[in-house]
Amino acid sequence: MNEHERWMEVALAEAREAGLAGDVPVGAVIVRDGVIIGRGRNRRELDGDPTAHAEIVALREAAKQLGHWRVEATLVVTQEPCPMCAGAIVNARVRRLVYGCPNPKAGAVTSLFQITTDSRLNHRVEVFGGVLTEACAAELKTFFAKLRKGPSHQ
């Protein structure tokens, strides 16, 4: 297991916790010098906050721990970030982004947009996609299958 896979396993644990709490199972960790400085999981439903995506939660924690907004670390997330999160990743000066499965409906790293590598912006991020793709996608598929069945079908 390589370093990206190791940290993705930690992000997957965060994603599972989000799913158990009724939120879409996406998890993230931010790693700097081999140490986790931020963790996040989707909390939109739990917090009633449309910006409480896993990446944003992790970035806020990392910035608080560092005492400044320039995170300059690796962000590992189970699903390709949306436009809001990709913008936050650029603004936080994340150096490297590692993501699991693509996000064909809202992905802003490779699927629909390429925000994190757009040369017109003042910062670009090194991107590694497709890390533990099947495991990351399985969490989402299971969650949405249960959601579609609803409580009356369980």
Name the residues annotated as catalytic: 55
User: Rounded to whole angstroms, how far apart are CA atoms 67 and 53?
Assistant: 21
User: Rounded to whole angstroms, how far apart are CA atoms 32 and 58?
Assistant: 13
DSSP 17: H
- Three-state SS for 32-73 is ECCEEEEEEECCHHHHCCCCCCHHHHHHHHHHHHHCCCCCCC
Number of H helices, E strands in the chain: 5, 5
Residue labelled with tokens 């081999």: 34
User: C-alpha angle 120/125/128, rounded to 5°?
Assistant: 130
